[in-house]
Amino acid sequence: MPSELPLRVELHRISKHFGSGPTRVDALVDIDLDVRAGEIVGLLGPSGSGKSTLLNVVGCITEPSAGWMRLDGEPVYDGGWLRRDLRRLRLEKIGFIFQFHNLLPFLDSTENVVEAMELFGTPARLARQRTAALLDYLDVGHRRHAMPGQLSGGEAQRVAIARALANSPRIILADEPTAALDSQRAAVVMDLLRRVATDHEAAILVVTHDEKIFGHFDRLVRLRDGRIEAEAPYAADSTADNATTSRLSPS
Partner 1 sequence: MNLALRDVRHNSLRFALTALGLGLLFGVVISMTGIYEGALDDALRLPRAASPDLWVVQPRTHGPFAEPSRIPRDTRDLVRRIPGVAATGAVTFQTVQTVADGKPLRMFIQGYEPGRPGGPQRLAAGADITASHFQVVADVSSGLTLGQQVPLGPLRQPYTVVGLTSSMVTSSGDPVAWVTLLDAQSLQFALPPALERREQAAGRPPPQTGDINAVLVRLAPGVAAATVAAEIERWKHLAAVSQVEQESFLTEFVIDKMQRQLGMFMAILITVSAVILALIIYTLTMDKLRAIATLKLIGAPDRVIVGLILQQAMVLGVAAFLFGLGLIVAVKDHFPRRVMLEPRDVGVVFAVVLVVCLLASVLGVRTALKVDAIKALAG
Task: Tell me which residues touch partner 1 (CB under 8 A).
Answer: 52, 55-56, 59, 61-62, 87-92, 96, 98-100, 102, 104-107, 111, 114-116, 118-120, 124, 147, 163, 175-176
Tell me whether residue 41 or residue 60 sits nearer to partner 1 (CB atom).
60
State the DSSP H helix or E strand holding residue 33, giving kind and residue range, or none if neither: strand 25-36
Q: What share of the chain is helix, strand, coil (3-state, %, to 5)?
A: 35, 25, 35
Taking the C-alpha atoms of residue 51 and residue 69, their distance in angstroms, rounded to an integer, is 16
Taking the C-alpha atoms of residue 115 and residue 91, their distance in angstroms, rounded to an integer, is 11
Taking the C-alpha atoms of residue 155 and residue 56, their distance in angstroms, rounded to an integer, is 25
Least distance to partner 1 from the beta carbon of 29, Å?
Answer: 20
Q: Where does residue 146 rank: exposed (0-12), middle (13-18), buried (19+ CB within 10 A)? A: middle
Least distance to partner 1 from the beta carbon of 126, Å?
Answer: 13
Tell me whether residue 36 or residue 163 sits nearer to partner 1 (CB atom).
163
Tell me whether residue 65 or residue 102 sits nearer to partner 1 (CB atom).
102
Please tell me whether residue 230 adopts helix, strand or coil conformation. strand
b/e for 45-83, b at 16 or more Cβ within 10 A?
beeebbbbbbbbbbbbebebbebbbbbbeeebbeeeeee
Least distance to partner 1 from the beta carbon of 156, Å?
Answer: 13
Tell me whether residue 104 or residue 126 sits nearer to partner 1 (CB atom).
104
Least distance to partner 1 from the beta carbon of 106, Å?
Answer: 3
Least distance to partner 1 from the beta carbon of 207, Å?
Answer: 9
Tell me whether residue 92 or residue 231 sits nearer to partner 1 (CB atom).
92
Taking the C-alpha atoms of residue 232 and residue 230, their distance in angstroms, rounded to an integer, is 7
Least distance to partner 1 from the beta carbon of 177, Å?
Answer: 12
Taking the C-alpha atoms of residue 155 and residue 74, their distance in angstroms, rounded to an integer, is 34
Tell me whether residue 87 or residue 195 sits nearer to partner 1 (CB atom).
87
Least distance to partner 1 from the beta carbon of 2, Å?
Answer: 31
Of the candidates 136, 126, 130, the residue with the CA atom closest to the CA atom of residue 166:
130
Tell me whether residue 106 or residue 237 sits nearer to partner 1 (CB atom).
106
The total of other beta-carbon atoms located within 10 Å of residue 101's CB is 21
